[in-house]
């Protein structure tokens, strides 16, 4: 038994020695949220001085445009008067502050509605409280703590931080892919053969897998999306879900970033952001099962351009201040260019069941042939 004050790495090694290899989701959650050494526990990860930059940290225009979009569609999805605002995983609170300003700029009643923040990290919670003083703020740790009211909000780079599990095709069978030890180092190991029950969350699996093929599923994402979808199906509202992602469960998408550089995900326990690529198809299936609808995903670049980010940036240019002007154009390029965040990042919108496609999602309509 390791000493309680031992490092997270030593405690995880001890756990693996005692109980055998652990699931990938268990490893991720320990690295991110361990009470003493978890990466998010410290709340220092995000921003230019942190390890990675998220869209709201690139430009305030991002949050302002999301607020304008939600304010515009609110009347179609229950209205703003009795609604609550919501954000899942608000990090430093930058996006919430920008959206507050966005709601005020377009005169939306949402500007004065209470803001519910789903946040697990003490470090980030303290920063959010310090930063967001305008509207009544309620911190929650579980979606079940939301009041019965229409909800308008956003989850930006939230689902990628939830635990993902993996299976691997080996010798004609699917096996669990787990985290074990190779000497002192954490290493992926082949676990027990999967039962057909184990494989249900991974469906549909490839029909003719090749040796070493990997598939992923995120039970935690499915559980939280189910709660979000049930809430919106019953009470109305709209939730933007933005993340790097795709629409299948194929491949090993686990990644870690420290100091703005990719690092091997098992090498820097608690010292790096460890995330996965979100499977939007799985989120859409869960939403549908809860009688809600997930529209999209569409690439972030196309979404923002359709909402008018280029026109908004033009209005904010600084002809007399070349450095600020250059920074503004570089920020917009970073958000929309396919080579930067514009293509890998996707946007989807969770709404009650119905038809039609709101602003920002025209490319989805085209692709669906609708
Ligand atoms: N949305 C922010 C931060 C993204 S980092 C931005 O765009 O800058 C991921 C955020 O999700 C962090 O605030 C993290 O603490 C939070 N988070 C991750 N898993 C969570 C969970 N299960 N419950 C609540 N918050 C969680």
Q: Would you state the structure tokens that stand for residue 205, as one six-digit string?
A: 């699996």
Q: What is the pTM of this model?
A: 0.95
The number of the ligand 1 atom at minimal distance from the alpha carbon of 273 is 5
Whether 160 and 244 have beta carbons less than 8 Å apart is answered as: yes
Write out pLDDT tens, residues 52-65: 889 999 999 999 99
358 near 348, Cβ under 8 Å?
Answer: no
CB of residue 42 inside a 6 A radius of ligand 1 = no
Determine phi and psi for 141, rounding to 5 degrees: -115, 0
Alpha carbon of 119 to ligand 1 centroid (Å): 6
Lowest mean pLDDT among 149-158, 187-196, 263-272, 294-303: 263-272
Q: What is the pLDDT of residue 365?
A: 65
CA of 70 to the centre of ligand 1 (A): 21
Mean pLDDT within 268-289: 94
Residue closest via CA to ligand 1's atom 21 equals 120
The position carrying tokens 């930058």 is 94
Distance 252 CA to ligand 1 centre (A): 21
Please report the DSSP string for 136-192 in residue order.
Answer: -EEEESSGGGS-SS-EEEEEES-GGGS--EEEEEETTEEEEEEEEEETTEEEEEEEE
pLDDT digits (tens, 9 = 90+) for 112-170: 999 999 999 988 999 999 999 877 899 999 999 999 999 999 999 999 999 999 999 99
What's the mean pLDDT when you consider all of the chain? 93
Q: How far is the CA of 120 from the centre of ligand 1 (A)?
A: 7
More confident position, 317 or 278: 278
The Cα–Cα gap between 150 and 231 comes to: 8
All structural domains of the chain = 55-162+218-362 (3.40.50.12710)
Question: Which atom of ligand 1 is closest in space to residue 43's alpha carbon?
Answer: 15
The pLDDT value recorded for residue 186 is 97
What is the C-alpha separation between 254 and 160, in angstroms, rounded?
A: 9
- Residue 90 Cβ inside 6 Å of ligand 1? The answer reads yes
pLDDT the model gives residue 366:
55
- The per-residue pLDDT for range 136-146, each reduced to its tens digit, is 899 999 999 99
């Amino acid at each position: 038994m390791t000493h309680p004050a031992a490092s997270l790495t030593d405690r995880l090694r001890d756990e693996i020695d005692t109980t055998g290899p652990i699931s990938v989701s268990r490893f991720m959650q320990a690295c991110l949220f361990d009470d003493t050494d978890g990466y998010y526990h410290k709340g220092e990860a995000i921003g230019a001085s942190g390890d990675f930059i998220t869209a709201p940290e690139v430009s305030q225009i991002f949050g302002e445009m999301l607020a304008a979009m939600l304010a515009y569609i609110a009347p179609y999805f229950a209205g703003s008067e009795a609604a609550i605002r919501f954000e899942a995983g608000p990090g430093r609170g930058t996006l919430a502050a920008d959206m507050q300003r966005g709601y005020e700029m377009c005169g939306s009643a949402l500007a004065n509605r209470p803001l519910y923040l789903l946040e697990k990290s003490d470090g980030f919670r303290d920063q959010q409280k310090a930063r967001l003083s305008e509207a009544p703020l309620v911190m929650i740790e579980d979606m079940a703590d939301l009041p019965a009211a229409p909800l308008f909000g956003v989850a930006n780079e939230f689902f990628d931080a939830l635990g993902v599990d993996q299976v691997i095709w080996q010798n004609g069978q699917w096996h669990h892919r787990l985290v074990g030890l190779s000497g002192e180092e954490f290493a992926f190991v082949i676990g027990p053969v999967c039962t057909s029950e184990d494989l249900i969350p991974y469906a549909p699996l490839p029909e003719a897998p090749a040796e070493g093929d990997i598939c992923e599923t995120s039970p935690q994402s499915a559980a939280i999306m189910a709660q979000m979808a049930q809430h919106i199906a019953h009470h109305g509202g709209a939730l933007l879900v933005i993340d790097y992602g795709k629409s299948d469960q194929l491949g090993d998408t686990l990644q870690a970033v420290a100091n703005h550089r990719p690092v091997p995900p098992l090498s820097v326990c608690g010292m790096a952001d460890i995330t996965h690529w979100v499977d939007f198809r799985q989120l859409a299936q869960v939403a549908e099962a809860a009688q809600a609808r997930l529209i999209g995903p569409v690439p972030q670049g196309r979404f923002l351009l359709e909402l008018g980010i280029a026109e908004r940036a033009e209005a904010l240019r600084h002809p007399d201040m070349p450095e600020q002007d250059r920074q503004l154009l570089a920020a917009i390029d970073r958000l929309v260019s396919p080579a930067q965040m514009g293509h890998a990042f996707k946007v989807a919108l969770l709404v009650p069941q119905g038809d039609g496609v709101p602003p920002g999602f025209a490319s989805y309509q085209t692709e669906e042939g609708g």
